[in-house]
Amino acid sequence: MVEGAQSAAERPRARGSPSSERFRHPPGEYRTDSRVRPGGRRQGAGEGRTGGASDTLLASAPMRVVDLDRDMRDVIPTGTSRDSEFLFDRMTDCTLGAASAGGARRILDVASGFGQDARALAGEGAFVVAAEPSARMSALARMQEVESDTARTEHVRAWGDALPFADGSFDAVFCKGALDHFDTPLAAIGEMARVTRSDGRVVLAIANFDSLSCRVARGVDAVRQDWLGRPPPRGRRHYDVPHDHFTRYELGLMREQASAHLTVEAVRGLSLAWGLPAWSRAVSRLPQFAARATLETFDRVARVLPALADVVVLWGRPRRAATTSA
Ligand SMILES: C[S@@+](CC[C@H](N)C(=O)[O-])C[C@H]1O[C@@H](n2cnc3c(N)ncnc32)[C@H](O)[C@@H]1O
Protein backbone atom coordinates (compact mmCIF):
# COMPACT_ATOMS: atom_id res chain seq x y z
CA MET A 1 0.00 0.00 0.00
CA VAL A 2 1.26 3.46 -0.86
CA GLU A 3 2.34 5.73 1.96
CA GLY A 4 -0.53 7.59 3.55
CA ALA A 5 -3.11 5.57 1.63
CA GLN A 6 -4.78 3.94 4.63
CA SER A 7 -8.42 3.18 3.93
CA ALA A 8 -11.31 4.19 6.13
CA ALA A 9 -11.39 0.81 7.84
CA GLU A 10 -7.79 1.16 9.00
CA ARG A 11 -7.60 4.87 9.70
CA PRO A 12 -7.83 5.61 13.41
CA ARG A 13 -11.20 7.07 14.25
CA ALA A 14 -11.68 10.30 16.14
CA ARG A 15 -12.15 10.08 19.88
CA GLY A 16 -15.85 10.18 20.64
CA SER A 17 -17.02 8.78 17.32
CA PRO A 18 -19.23 5.71 17.66
CA SER A 19 -16.39 3.40 16.62
CA SER A 20 -13.58 5.18 18.39
CA GLU A 21 -13.34 2.77 21.27
CA ARG A 22 -12.39 0.04 18.83
CA PHE A 23 -9.00 1.69 18.77
CA ARG A 24 -6.86 1.92 21.81
CA HIS A 25 -4.71 4.77 20.56
CA PRO A 26 -6.46 8.06 19.77
CA PRO A 27 -5.20 9.84 16.64
CA GLY A 28 -2.60 11.95 18.42
CA GLU A 29 -0.91 8.90 19.88
CA TYR A 30 -1.66 6.50 17.05
CA ARG A 31 1.41 4.86 15.59
CA THR A 32 1.00 5.14 11.87
CA ASP A 33 2.77 3.39 9.07
CA SER A 34 4.49 6.51 7.84
CA ARG A 35 7.70 4.68 7.08
CA VAL A 36 6.41 2.26 4.48
CA ARG A 37 7.73 3.32 1.11
CA PRO A 38 5.68 2.96 -2.05
CA GLY A 39 5.98 -0.63 -3.11
CA GLY A 40 5.52 -1.85 0.43
CA ARG A 41 9.16 -1.89 1.57
CA ARG A 42 9.82 -0.60 5.02
CA GLN A 43 12.74 1.42 6.30
CA GLY A 44 14.64 -0.27 9.08
CA ALA A 45 14.67 1.16 12.57
CA GLY A 46 17.06 4.10 12.74
CA GLU A 47 17.15 4.59 8.97
CA GLY A 48 16.03 7.73 7.27
CA ARG A 49 17.58 10.38 9.50
CA THR A 50 19.81 12.29 7.15
CA GLY A 51 20.14 15.58 9.04
CA GLY A 52 19.71 19.18 7.89
CA ALA A 53 16.77 19.92 5.64
CA SER A 54 15.44 16.37 5.70
CA ASP A 55 15.35 16.50 9.49
CA THR A 56 13.04 19.46 9.20
CA LEU A 57 10.92 17.56 6.69
CA LEU A 58 10.81 14.50 8.90
CA ALA A 59 10.09 16.42 12.07
CA SER A 60 6.33 16.40 11.57
CA ALA A 61 6.13 12.82 10.35
CA PRO A 62 4.80 10.39 12.96
CA MET A 63 7.37 7.72 13.78
CA ARG A 64 6.58 4.06 13.87
CA VAL A 65 7.15 2.85 17.41
CA VAL A 66 8.58 -0.65 17.32
CA ASP A 67 10.92 -2.84 19.25
CA LEU A 68 12.44 -5.25 16.79
CA ASP A 69 13.95 -7.38 19.53
CA ARG A 70 10.84 -7.83 21.59
CA ASP A 71 9.76 -11.20 22.69
CA MET A 72 6.23 -11.71 23.83
CA ARG A 73 6.66 -14.32 26.52
CA ASP A 74 4.92 -12.08 29.00
CA VAL A 75 1.89 -11.39 26.83
CA ILE A 76 1.13 -14.73 25.22
CA PRO A 77 -1.25 -16.43 27.60
CA THR A 78 -0.82 -20.10 28.21
CA GLY A 79 -3.46 -22.53 29.36
CA THR A 80 -3.65 -22.02 33.10
CA SER A 81 -7.20 -23.17 33.68
CA ARG A 82 -9.55 -25.62 31.99
CA ASP A 83 -11.49 -22.96 30.14
CA SER A 84 -8.26 -21.25 29.00
CA GLU A 85 -6.79 -24.52 27.78
CA PHE A 86 -10.00 -25.31 25.95
CA LEU A 87 -10.10 -21.89 24.30
CA PHE A 88 -6.47 -21.90 23.14
CA ASP A 89 -6.71 -25.49 21.89
CA ARG A 90 -9.88 -24.66 19.92
CA MET A 91 -8.27 -21.57 18.47
CA THR A 92 -5.24 -23.55 17.33
CA ASP A 93 -7.22 -26.52 15.98
CA CYS A 94 -9.68 -24.36 14.07
CA THR A 95 -7.00 -22.06 12.60
CA LEU A 96 -4.61 -24.82 11.57
CA GLY A 97 -7.48 -27.01 10.35
CA ALA A 98 -8.74 -24.21 8.11
CA ALA A 99 -5.23 -23.42 6.85
CA SER A 100 -4.37 -27.00 5.96
CA ALA A 101 -7.80 -27.95 4.59
CA GLY A 102 -7.87 -29.23 1.03
CA GLY A 103 -4.29 -30.49 1.29
CA ALA A 104 -2.51 -27.10 1.32
CA ARG A 105 1.21 -27.84 0.89
CA ARG A 106 2.80 -24.41 1.01
CA ILE A 107 1.69 -22.49 4.07
CA LEU A 108 2.76 -19.14 5.52
CA ASP A 109 2.36 -18.31 9.23
CA VAL A 110 2.34 -14.51 9.59
CA ALA A 111 3.52 -13.30 13.04
CA SER A 112 4.57 -16.82 13.90
CA GLY A 113 5.82 -15.97 17.40
CA PHE A 114 7.46 -19.02 18.98
CA GLY A 115 6.63 -21.01 15.86
CA GLN A 116 4.60 -23.76 17.52
CA ASP A 117 1.85 -23.60 14.88
CA ALA A 118 4.29 -23.59 11.97
CA ARG A 119 6.08 -26.60 13.52
CA ALA A 120 2.80 -28.48 13.96
CA LEU A 121 1.89 -28.06 10.28
CA ALA A 122 5.42 -28.89 9.14
CA GLY A 123 5.11 -32.06 11.24
CA GLU A 124 2.12 -33.01 9.08
CA GLY A 125 4.27 -32.72 5.97
CA ALA A 126 3.56 -29.18 4.75
CA PHE A 127 6.28 -26.75 3.66
CA VAL A 128 5.81 -23.95 6.17
CA VAL A 129 7.35 -20.50 6.28
CA ALA A 130 7.27 -18.74 9.66
CA ALA A 131 7.34 -14.95 9.17
CA GLU A 132 8.06 -12.93 12.30
CA PRO A 133 9.57 -9.46 12.81
CA SER A 134 11.04 -10.14 16.26
CA ALA A 135 14.51 -11.65 16.03
CA ARG A 136 14.20 -12.87 19.60
CA MET A 137 10.94 -14.71 18.94
CA SER A 138 12.41 -16.36 15.83
CA ALA A 139 15.56 -17.36 17.75
CA LEU A 140 13.40 -18.99 20.44
CA ALA A 141 11.40 -20.76 17.73
CA ARG A 142 14.57 -22.10 16.12
CA MET A 143 15.86 -23.26 19.50
CA GLN A 144 12.62 -25.16 20.08
CA GLU A 145 12.99 -26.90 16.72
CA VAL A 146 16.48 -28.05 17.62
CA GLU A 147 15.64 -29.05 21.18
CA SER A 148 12.48 -30.95 20.34
CA ASP A 149 13.92 -32.36 17.12
CA THR A 150 10.64 -31.59 15.39
CA ALA A 151 10.03 -30.79 11.76
CA ARG A 152 11.88 -27.69 10.55
CA THR A 153 10.25 -24.58 9.17
CA GLU A 154 11.72 -21.76 7.14
CA HIS A 155 12.16 -18.62 9.24
CA VAL A 156 11.84 -15.23 7.60
CA ARG A 157 12.10 -11.93 9.40
CA ALA A 158 9.22 -9.85 8.09
CA TRP A 159 6.48 -7.40 8.94
CA GLY A 160 2.94 -8.41 8.10
CA ASP A 161 2.43 -5.40 5.85
CA ALA A 162 5.56 -5.96 3.73
CA LEU A 163 5.81 -9.69 3.13
CA PRO A 164 8.92 -10.52 1.08
CA PHE A 165 7.23 -13.08 -1.20
CA ALA A 166 6.01 -13.06 -4.78
CA ASP A 167 2.29 -12.87 -5.56
CA GLY A 168 0.47 -16.18 -5.14
CA SER A 169 3.41 -17.97 -3.45
CA PHE A 170 1.31 -19.92 -0.92
CA ASP A 171 -1.68 -22.24 -0.89
CA ALA A 172 -2.69 -20.86 2.48
CA VAL A 173 -1.66 -18.04 4.79
CA PHE A 174 -2.74 -17.72 8.40
CA CYS A 175 -2.33 -15.18 11.14
CA LYS A 176 -3.34 -16.31 14.62
CA GLY A 177 -3.83 -14.07 17.64
CA ALA A 178 -1.62 -11.34 16.22
CA LEU A 179 -3.50 -8.92 13.98
CA ASP A 180 -4.39 -6.73 16.96
CA HIS A 181 -0.65 -6.26 17.58
CA PHE A 182 -0.13 -4.81 14.09
CA ASP A 183 -0.04 -1.06 13.53
CA THR A 184 -1.34 -1.48 9.97
CA PRO A 185 -3.60 -4.55 10.07
CA LEU A 186 -5.53 -3.72 6.92
CA ALA A 187 -2.34 -3.42 4.86
CA ALA A 188 -1.17 -6.72 6.40
CA ILE A 189 -4.38 -8.50 5.34
CA GLY A 190 -3.80 -7.07 1.84
CA GLU A 191 -0.31 -8.53 1.84
CA MET A 192 -1.57 -11.90 3.04
CA ALA A 193 -4.10 -11.89 0.18
CA ARG A 194 -1.41 -10.92 -2.32
CA VAL A 195 0.96 -13.77 -1.46
CA THR A 196 -1.84 -16.37 -1.46
CA ARG A 197 -2.72 -18.04 -4.77
CA SER A 198 -6.05 -16.90 -6.15
CA ASP A 199 -7.97 -20.04 -5.16
CA GLY A 200 -6.04 -20.36 -1.89
CA ARG A 201 -7.09 -19.34 1.62
CA VAL A 202 -6.26 -16.64 4.15
CA VAL A 203 -7.18 -17.50 7.74
CA LEU A 204 -7.40 -14.87 10.47
CA ALA A 205 -7.96 -15.70 14.15
CA ILE A 206 -8.53 -12.96 16.66
CA ALA A 207 -9.84 -12.33 20.19
CA ASN A 208 -13.27 -10.71 20.30
CA PHE A 209 -13.41 -7.77 22.73
CA ASP A 210 -17.18 -7.60 22.37
CA SER A 211 -17.76 -11.18 23.42
CA LEU A 212 -20.58 -12.15 25.76
CA SER A 213 -18.08 -12.42 28.59
CA CYS A 214 -16.63 -8.94 27.91
CA ARG A 215 -20.14 -7.46 27.79
CA VAL A 216 -21.22 -9.18 31.01
CA ALA A 217 -18.04 -8.26 32.91
CA ARG A 218 -18.21 -4.64 31.72
CA GLY A 219 -21.87 -4.43 32.78
CA VAL A 220 -21.23 -5.94 36.20
CA ASP A 221 -18.28 -3.62 36.84
CA ALA A 222 -20.33 -0.60 35.74
CA VAL A 223 -23.16 -1.51 38.14
CA ARG A 224 -20.67 -2.02 40.98
CA GLN A 225 -19.00 1.30 40.37
CA ASP A 226 -21.84 3.55 39.26
CA TRP A 227 -24.71 2.21 41.36
CA LEU A 228 -23.05 0.62 44.35
CA GLY A 229 -20.17 3.10 44.64
CA ARG A 230 -17.52 0.38 44.72
CA PRO A 231 -13.95 1.26 43.68
CA PRO A 232 -12.91 0.35 40.12
CA PRO A 233 -11.49 -3.16 39.75
CA ARG A 234 -7.74 -3.41 40.27
CA GLY A 235 -5.51 -4.46 37.40
CA ARG A 236 -6.44 -5.10 33.79
CA ARG A 237 -9.79 -6.73 33.18
CA HIS A 238 -10.10 -9.21 30.34
CA TYR A 239 -12.30 -6.74 28.43
CA ASP A 240 -9.58 -4.06 28.57
CA VAL A 241 -7.42 -3.95 25.47
CA PRO A 242 -3.80 -4.84 26.42
CA HIS A 243 -1.18 -2.10 26.13
CA ASP A 244 0.54 -3.78 23.20
CA HIS A 245 -2.59 -3.94 21.02
CA PHE A 246 -3.30 -1.34 18.36
CA THR A 247 -6.82 -2.44 17.53
CA ARG A 248 -9.78 -3.54 19.58
CA TYR A 249 -11.36 -6.21 17.42
CA GLU A 250 -14.94 -7.37 17.38
CA LEU A 251 -16.76 -9.31 14.69
CA GLY A 252 -17.92 -6.28 12.68
CA LEU A 253 -14.47 -4.74 12.39
CA MET A 254 -12.90 -8.11 11.61
CA ARG A 255 -15.36 -8.68 8.77
CA GLU A 256 -14.98 -5.13 7.49
CA GLN A 257 -11.18 -5.36 7.29
CA ALA A 258 -11.14 -8.90 5.91
CA SER A 259 -13.71 -8.03 3.22
CA ALA A 260 -11.45 -5.31 1.83
CA HIS A 261 -9.07 -8.02 0.56
CA LEU A 262 -10.88 -11.35 0.84
CA THR A 263 -14.08 -12.96 -0.29
CA VAL A 264 -15.08 -14.20 3.14
CA GLU A 265 -16.08 -17.86 3.01
CA ALA A 266 -16.56 -18.72 6.68
CA VAL A 267 -16.73 -17.16 10.11
CA ARG A 268 -16.42 -19.38 13.19
CA GLY A 269 -17.13 -18.30 16.73
CA LEU A 270 -15.20 -20.27 19.35
CA SER A 271 -15.85 -20.64 23.07
CA LEU A 272 -18.16 -18.61 25.27
CA ALA A 273 -17.80 -16.99 28.70
CA TRP A 274 -13.99 -17.17 28.89
CA GLY A 275 -12.52 -14.58 31.24
CA LEU A 276 -15.37 -14.55 33.77
CA PRO A 277 -13.78 -15.63 37.07
CA ALA A 278 -16.97 -17.29 38.35
CA TRP A 279 -17.25 -19.31 35.13
CA SER A 280 -13.63 -20.39 35.28
CA ARG A 281 -14.03 -21.48 38.93
CA ALA A 282 -17.24 -23.38 38.15
CA VAL A 283 -15.63 -25.24 35.24
CA SER A 284 -12.57 -26.11 37.32
CA ARG A 285 -14.77 -27.71 40.02
CA LEU A 286 -16.71 -29.94 37.66
CA PRO A 287 -15.59 -33.52 37.05
CA GLN A 288 -13.37 -33.67 33.94
CA PHE A 289 -16.01 -35.19 31.62
CA ALA A 290 -18.71 -32.74 32.73
CA ALA A 291 -16.37 -29.76 32.29
CA ARG A 292 -15.50 -30.91 28.79
CA ALA A 293 -19.15 -31.46 27.85
CA THR A 294 -20.09 -28.02 29.21
CA LEU A 295 -17.28 -26.23 27.37
CA GLU A 296 -18.17 -28.04 24.14
CA THR A 297 -21.84 -27.10 24.47
CA PHE A 298 -20.93 -23.44 24.94
CA ASP A 299 -18.55 -23.73 22.00
CA ARG A 300 -21.43 -24.92 19.80
CA VAL A 301 -23.46 -21.89 20.86
CA ALA A 302 -20.51 -19.63 20.00
CA ARG A 303 -20.36 -21.19 16.58
CA VAL A 304 -23.86 -19.97 15.73
CA LEU A 305 -23.41 -16.64 17.55
CA PRO A 306 -19.90 -15.56 16.54
CA ALA A 307 -20.52 -11.96 17.61
CA LEU A 308 -20.61 -13.22 21.22
CA ALA A 309 -17.77 -15.73 20.94
CA ASP A 310 -14.45 -15.36 22.77
CA VAL A 311 -12.46 -15.86 19.58
CA VAL A 312 -13.39 -15.44 15.94
CA VAL A 313 -11.71 -17.37 13.14
CA LEU A 314 -12.48 -16.13 9.67
CA TRP A 315 -11.25 -17.27 6.29
CA GLY A 316 -11.62 -16.44 2.66
CA ARG A 317 -10.14 -16.29 -0.84
CA PRO A 318 -8.02 -13.35 -1.99
CA ARG A 319 -9.82 -10.64 -3.92
CA ARG A 320 -7.18 -9.84 -6.46
CA ALA A 321 -8.55 -6.53 -7.75
CA ALA A 322 -8.60 -5.05 -4.28
CA THR A 323 -5.04 -6.12 -3.44
CA THR A 324 -3.16 -4.48 -6.29
CA SER A 325 -1.10 -1.60 -4.94
CA ALA A 326 -0.96 1.69 -6.71
C1 LIG B 1 0.57 -12.65 20.58
S2 LIG B 1 1.86 -13.03 19.44
C3 LIG B 1 1.11 -14.34 18.48
C4 LIG B 1 2.12 -15.31 17.97
C5 LIG B 1 1.58 -16.57 17.31
N6 LIG B 1 0.85 -16.30 16.09
C7 LIG B 1 0.76 -17.41 18.26
O8 LIG B 1 -0.42 -17.67 17.98
O9 LIG B 1 1.31 -17.83 19.28
C10 LIG B 1 1.88 -11.64 18.35
C11 LIG B 1 3.04 -11.65 17.36
O12 LIG B 1 2.85 -10.59 16.43
C13 LIG B 1 4.14 -10.10 16.06
N14 LIG B 1 3.95 -8.79 15.45
C15 LIG B 1 3.69 -7.61 16.05
N16 LIG B 1 3.55 -6.63 15.12
C17 LIG B 1 3.70 -7.21 13.91
C18 LIG B 1 3.63 -6.73 12.56
N19 LIG B 1 3.37 -5.47 12.29
N20 LIG B 1 3.85 -7.62 11.56
C21 LIG B 1 4.07 -8.93 11.83
N22 LIG B 1 4.15 -9.42 13.07
C23 LIG B 1 3.96 -8.59 14.11
C24 LIG B 1 4.89 -10.11 17.37
O25 LIG B 1 6.29 -10.04 17.19
C26 LIG B 1 4.41 -11.42 17.98
O27 LIG B 1 5.23 -12.50 17.65
SS (H, E, C) the chain: CCCCCCCCCCCCCCCCCCCHHHECCCCCCCCCCCCECCCCCECCCCCCCCCHHHHHHHHCCCCCCCCCCCCCCCCCCCCCCHHHHHHHHHHHHHHHHHHHHHHCCEEEEECCCCCHHHHHHHHCCCEEEEECCCHHHHHHHHHHHHHHCCCCCEEECCCCCCCCCCCCCEEEEEEECCHHHCCCHHHHHHHHHHHEEEEEEEEEEEECCCCHHHHHHHHHHHHHHHHCCCCCCCCCCCCCCCCCCCECCCHHHHHHHHHCCEEEEEEEEECCCCCCHHHHHHHHHCCHHHHHHHHHHHHHHHHHCHHHCCEEEEEEEECHHHHCCC
Q: Which residue has the higher pLDDT, 243 or 85?
A: 85
pLDDT band at 126 (very low <50, low <70, confident <90, very high): very high
- Give the Cα separation of 105 and 171 in Å (integer): 7
**72, 137 contact by CB (below 8 A):** yes
Look at residue 69 in the predicted model and tell me its pLDDT.
62
pLDDT band at 150 (very low <50, low <70, confident <90, very high): confident
Domain ranges of the chain: 82-209+248-270+310-323
Look at residue 73 in the predicted model and tell me its pLDDT.
58
Q: Name the residue with the closest Cα to ligand 1, atom 17.
A: 182
**Closest ligand 1 atom to 158 CA:** 21
- Give the Cα separation of 212 and 156 in Å (integer): 37
In this prediction, residues 262-275 reach a mean pLDDT of: 96
List the strands of the sheet with 154-156, edge to edge: 154-156, 127-131, 106-110, 170-176, 196-207, 311-318, 262-270
The verdict on the CB of residue 113 being under 6 Å from ligand 1 is: yes
> Which span out of 77-86, 186-195, 281-290 was modeled with the highest average pLDDT?
186-195
pTM attached to this predicted model: 0.79
In this prediction, residues 159-179 reach a mean pLDDT of: 97
- Give the Cα separation of 257 and 288 in Å (integer): 39
pLDDT band at 185 (very low <50, low <70, confident <90, very high): very high
**323, 190 contact by CB (below 8 A):** yes
Q: Could you report the per-residue pLDDT of 208-225, keeping only the tens digit for each? A: 999 999 998 887 877 787
> Yes or no: is domain 82-209+248-270+310-323 CATH 3.20.20.70?
no
In this prediction, residues 110-135 reach a mean pLDDT of: 95
pLDDT at position 97 over 70: yes
**Closest ligand 1 atom to 184 CA:** 19
The verdict on the CB of residue 72 being under 6 Å from ligand 1 is: yes
Look at residue 230 in the predicted model and tell me its pLDDT.
80
**Closest ligand 1 atom to 76 CA:** 1
Q: Name the residue with the closest Cα to ligand 1, atom 16.
A: 182
In this prediction, residues 103-124 reach a mean pLDDT of: 94
For ligand 1, the distance from its centroid to the CA atom of residue 198, given in whole angstroms, is 25
**Closest ligand 1 atom to 111 CA:** 22
| Mean confidence (pLDDT) of the chain | 79
Q: Which residue has the higher pLDDT, 42 or 208?
A: 208
pLDDT band at 78 (very low <50, low <70, confident <90, very high): low
Instruction: State the helix-helix crossing angle for 116-123 and 135-148, rounded to 10 degrees.
Output: 40
For ligand 1, the distance from its centroid to the CA atom of residue 21, given in whole angstroms, is 22
The verdict on the CB of residue 134 being under 6 Å from ligand 1 is: yes
For ligand 1, the distance from its centroid to the CA atom of residue 188, given in whole angstroms, is 12
The verdict on the CB of residue 178 being under 6 Å from ligand 1 is: yes
For ligand 1, the distance from its centroid to the CA atom of residue 132, given in whole angstroms, is 7
Q: What are phi and psi of 247, to 5 degrees?
A: -130, 140
In this prediction, residues 175-191 reach a mean pLDDT of: 96
pLDDT at position 76 over 80: no
Which is it for strands 127-131 and 154-156: parallel, antiparallel or unpaired?
parallel
pLDDT at position 204 over 50: yes
Q: Name the residue with the closest Cα to ligand 1, atom 13.
A: 111
Look at residue 10 in the predicted model and tell me its pLDDT.
41
Q: Which of 65, 72, 89 to mutate to test the pocket of ligand 1 (most atoms within 8 A of CB)?
A: 72
Q: Which residue has the higher pLDDT, 82 or 46?
A: 82
Look at residue 28 in the predicted model and tell me its pLDDT.
28
Q: What are phi and psi of 201, to 5 degrees?
A: -140, 135
pLDDT band at 63 (very low <50, low <70, confident <90, very high): low
- Give the Cα separation of 313 and 311 in Å (integer): 7
Look at residue 266 in the predicted model and tell me its pLDDT.
98
Q: Could you report the per-residue pLDDT of 269-280, keeping only the tens digit for each? A: 999 999 888 899
Look at residue 57 in the predicted model and tell me its pLDDT.
52
In this prediction, residues 18-24 reach a mean pLDDT of: 33
